[in-house]
Chains A and B, each alone.
Chain A
Amino acid sequence: METATSDAEEEKKATFEASEIEYASYGGEHHLPLIMGLVDHELSEPYSIFTYRYFVYLWPQLSFLAFHKGKCVGTVVCKMGEHRSTYRGYIAMLVVIKPYRGKGIATELVSRSIRVMKESGCEEVTLEAEVTNKGALALYGRLGFIRAKRLFRYYLNGVDAFRLKLLFPQRELHPSLVMMAHNDASQRHASNRPLEEFPEQQERDCSSMGESVSNK
């Protein structure tokens, strides 16, 4: 999906202290119009209401909003799930409105999501970004993402995308733990996550994410 966080043109910048920005995890239906408003306004792809609800209802813990004096100035929307035998996180949308860009808000938003993904047992995080979106590419590059693939004319506007990937360090298993891991491979992702947080039905849903979803 997309990211709108950087801005080459000289826009009127808001003056504020980093400490004035408050971050909140997705808190329910009242946050949804805020997220939709930002994304609709800043990103090029059209997303239906189903797309938003799909993300925030299934993974509310991965969506964050940034507020300045009560005004929503940025948001990140994500998901995670099984993908070809790995458990991976996916950053679907990241937006910071223009006057607030360049102050690390996007980095903070996306870092919060990535931390939750890591704690939830994800092995890697992926996303797509327009090849022309230098700001987003630099941001994700600083966080350790590599450009794994180029996706030819991925967006509706005909622009190529990069598939970006962040691999978390794999903990070297102690020899005695290898046995345990082999005996109980089915639970390898569940270690840090209470199972009830991740009902079976949702797990099935996740398996279809990522590469199978092209915007064409």
Chain B
Amino acid sequence: MDEERAEAAAVDRHDPRPSSIPSGDGSVWADVSPLLEAACTDLPDGELIHGDNFNLFAAMSALEIMDPKMDSGMVSRYYSVDEAIENGAAPVPISCDKTGDVQCTIDIMDHLLACEATWHKGHSLAQTVFSCIYLLRPERTSSHALLHSYSRIIRATCKAVVSVVSDARTHEEEDLFTMAYGLPLIGEDEKCLSMLNAVEETIARQLRACKAPSSGRKVIEDLEPLQNNLALEEGYCKAILCRLRFRKHFYHVLMCLKRPQGRGLQLARKHISSCLSELEIIRKSTEVLRSNDYGTHNCGEDKTTASGRRPVGFDASINTRLSAPTPPRSIKILSWSEAVEYFVKLLHDLDIICSFSLDASLEGILQFMVQFQKSHPDLVSRAHLQTLLIQDGKLYGRDPIFAVIAKAAGLPEIVRNHDIQNGECLVHLGQLVINLLKILSTNAAWQRRKLGKIVQDWRVIHIQLELALRQEMGEESGISADQNGRGDILRQILIWVEEQTFWIASRFLMLGFELELYSPGEYCMVYWYIYVVLIKLAERMHHKMSFTNATAKLKGKKKKGSTKDMSRDFQIPASVLFLQSYICLAEGLTMMLAALKNERMLSQSPSPFNSDHERFIQHFELLQKAGVPDHISYQSFEESTKNARFSTLVMYNYFKDAQRIAKEVKNSFPNDPERQSELRRIEQVAEHNSIALTVLCRLGSLDSSLKVSFDFSHHPYFATAVVKRS
């Protein structure tokens, strides 16, 4: 750029305004228009200055001014909050008519609930809850006790939720959530409750007054009614009371969940139950609010208030500048009924967390987390689960991680304080366990990616432990016995690490179904890989259990000398049998899919640029890199499936095995309803596939009109074959 020309241009303009505005810190604001004008003449249309640092990210971050898709300032109605207030966008009181004022306040409460739910669902706080002008200027509402107390608890609640989500860091891809700069959240704390309680008390008295018989009314005549229309008084008092009480209990829930070591969980459950009943009353208040018509209203499905009216005091565009560094998103606020639904689900999810045992084993916790994720909990409840589980690097802020690992590995209780835990390897293992629990609290998409990556870490720790064990044994070879039992401890933990690694791999593979990452053409290789991983998992699990049982039995014998349980030695533990039913299903599906492919019954045209081999590499790259399991390749997959034919499958029906095992093992989990229903699903898939297989074996190659498809109507991961005549 030609600087002289730019300067000349600046001089030529004879602008009456000063050419620079001091901005403090010794720097000044300068008008760049002349510089830009001069630059424009230097660059013909269509040319692009290409700087070294101009990459795709820079290109995509560029905004075009006056393009409504990009320019957030363009669509704003007001330049500032103050301008909006001057224009009367958020009057205090909201209406001079007391009845109107109460109605408008209820609408604001309802719309805020909808905004809050929209925020929880992943939009920015600035563009949802803080699109409320009243919330942005805390001091302005102080003369309006009802609105003021409600605003304060909303701000305090937002602050508490931001804090738990920030602490949990479960929001990697939901980072919009905790952005709160420029918003008046500071300073709000539990004190807001006392003001809310006072307002609640007043309205409760107003409600009692209007319900009291006219004779009794004199006694409390000094009490002004909530508003002027006596016919509406009771309905409005009730509508406001349930809204205030919901806020109060919800805030209590958040505070109880914050208590260390899960000490507030029981109390939290009580408040959750109160929240749910207040929500029910709020839901029912719709009728009253809609019938009390003050002006026109619309009861459409997408309305954000119970009354159906538009709330006063909101401007969706007022904070778009605060939502930086993201481009403004057009936000559709959830409807009021969707918002209520959301909170009902959130509270149920929180209740599930609160009712989970604080004494569960690690295995139990992992199972619980998998189960919990099935209902697709949103960010807020997942964050609470995580902060409950991991506090100060301990499980529930209470159990040292090594003790947790030792228990999971089936080691006796005395070992839990063994000095072996201070070794580098086991400290590292502890971090991996914490990391695993955190990952299992994230959303399914993120979780799968992370699980794929940590498989490698678990593999590395496995190798390190193996090394440590070898060293230990080497050192001991000179000594007569393993004095400290270090070798035994390491050996036992090693088996558990292997088991855990395969568990992570199986979770990684199965999550692919939930996230719809596999196409039907890939099912065969996916089930094959699941089959291979599950076999290893079952082996390790069995190995660990037989080791533990042997130790336990030894002790038992020492104490009681009893031998009555000898027969159990030869039995396979129920949890291994449970896995066995999965294994049969996975193998059955692999073979059925392979036979369909080999007998050309699946309409699949070869892809022009690559083959199944490349798809195999891509899908299982992370597991293959980590050697989970070892010696597994595309060739081994091809080897084991290339000969599958219906003529041979008819001889051995894996699905019948799966069905039989599922039926047998059911009795072993009498107090575990989750497992029971999972086993029922397994039975169903197995039964349907068994029938489909029989049909295919009998008619398959003869009847070319048979079309086979797969769906997930009976189980989220194990497909059901559907055979139809086209």
Contact = CB atoms under 8 A, between A and B. Distances in A.
Interface of A: 29, 32, 46-51, 53-54, 57, 79, 111, 114, 118, 131, 141-144, 146-153, 156-158, 160, 162, 165-169, 201, 204-205, 208-209, 212-213, 215-216
B445 A150 contact: yes
B448 interface: yes
Which of A46, A151, A156, A208 is most buried by chain B, counting CB atoms within 10 A of its CB? A46
Contact of B610 (A151, A157, A162, A169): A169
B610 A168 contact: yes
Contacts of A146: 517, 519, 522, 615, 618-619
Interface in B597-642: 605, 607-611, 613-615, 617-619
B60 A156 contact: no
B596 to A, nearest CB: 18
B446 interface: yes
Given A48-B62, A150-B515, A152-B173, A144 B609 contact: yes
B624 to A, nearest CB: 13
A47 B57 CA distance: 12
B607 A144 contact: yes
A153 B174 contact: yes
A144 B617 CA distance: 13
Which of B55, B62, B521 is most buried by chain A, counting CB atoms within 10 A of its CB? B55
B517 A29 contact: no
Contacts of A57: 48, 50
B448 A143 contact: no
B445 A151 contact: yes
A142 B62 contact: no
B317 to A, nearest CB: 16
A209 B55 CA distance: 8
Contacts of B517: 146-150, 162
B48 A148 contact: no
Given A46-B69, A143-B608, A150 B59 contact: no
Interface string B48-75: 1010101111111011100101100000
A148 B69 CA distance: 30
Contacts of A50: 48, 54, 58-60, 62
B59 A54 contact: yes
B443 interface: yes
B445 A51 contact: no
Contact of A158 (B329, B444, B446): B329
Nearest to B619: A146
B516 A205 contact: no
A142 B445 CA distance: 24
B56 A143 contact: no
Given A54-B54, A167-B610, 5 more contacts: A54-B56, A150-B445, A150-B515, A150-B517, A205-B55
A169 B56 contact: no
A205 B443 CA distance: 32
Contacts of A141: 519, 521
Contacts of A148: 517, 618-619
B135 to A, nearest CB: 23
B60 A168 contact: no
Interface string B204-237: 0000000000000000000000000000000000
B300 interface: no
Interface residues of B, number: 53
A187 B519 CA distance: 36
B173 A32 contact: no
Nearest to A147: B517
Nearest to B57: A213
A162 B516 CA distance: 9
A105 to B, nearest CB: 16
Given A146-B522, A167-B617, A205-B54, A51 B59 contact: yes
A158 B609 contact: no
A26 to B, nearest CB: 13
B464 to A, nearest CB: 26
A131 B67 CA distance: 27
A144 B64 CA distance: 37
A215 B55 contact: no
Nearest to A149: B449
A215 B50 contact: no
A95 B94 CA distance: 50
10 A-B pairs with least C-beta separation: A144-B607, A46-B69, A208-B55, A50-B59, A150-B445, A54-B59, A167-B614, A29-B46, A48-B62, A152-B445
A114 B45 CA distance: 31
A92 B575 CA distance: 48
Contacts of B449: 149
B443 A213 contact: no
A212 B58 CA distance: 11
A152 B515 CA distance: 10
Contacts of A157: 329-330
A166 B610 contact: yes
Contacts of B617: 167
15 contacts: A29-B46, A47-B60, A51-B60, A142-B607, A143-B609, A144-B607, A147-B516, A148-B619, A150-B516, A152-B174, A158-B123, A205-B56, A208-B55, A208-B57, A209-B56
B445 A48 contact: no
Given A54-B59, A148-B517, A160 B613 contact: no
Contacts of B64: 48-49
B397 interface: no
Contacts of A32: 46
Given A49-B64, A50-B48, A168 B614 contact: yes
A51 B519 CA distance: 32
A207 to B, nearest CB: 8
B710 to A, nearest CB: 15
A168 B611 CA distance: 9
Contacts of A111: 608
Contacts of B518: 147
Contact of A147 (B443, B519, B609): B519
B122 interface: yes
A53 B326 CA distance: 22
Given A147-B518, A209-B55, A156 B615 contact: no
B705 to A, nearest CB: 24
A191 B193 CA distance: 71
B322 to A, nearest CB: 16
B400 interface: no
B62 A153 contact: no
Interface in B27-60: 45-46, 48, 50, 52, 54-60
A133 B66 CA distance: 30
Nearest to A125: B609
B176 interface: yes
A114 B608 CA distance: 11
B342 to A, nearest CB: 15
Contact of B608 (A79, A144, A167, A212): A144
Contacts of A51: 56, 59-60, 62
A158 B122 contact: yes
B327 interface: yes
A47 B54 CA distance: 15
A169 B445 contact: no
Contact of B613 (A169, A208, A209): A169
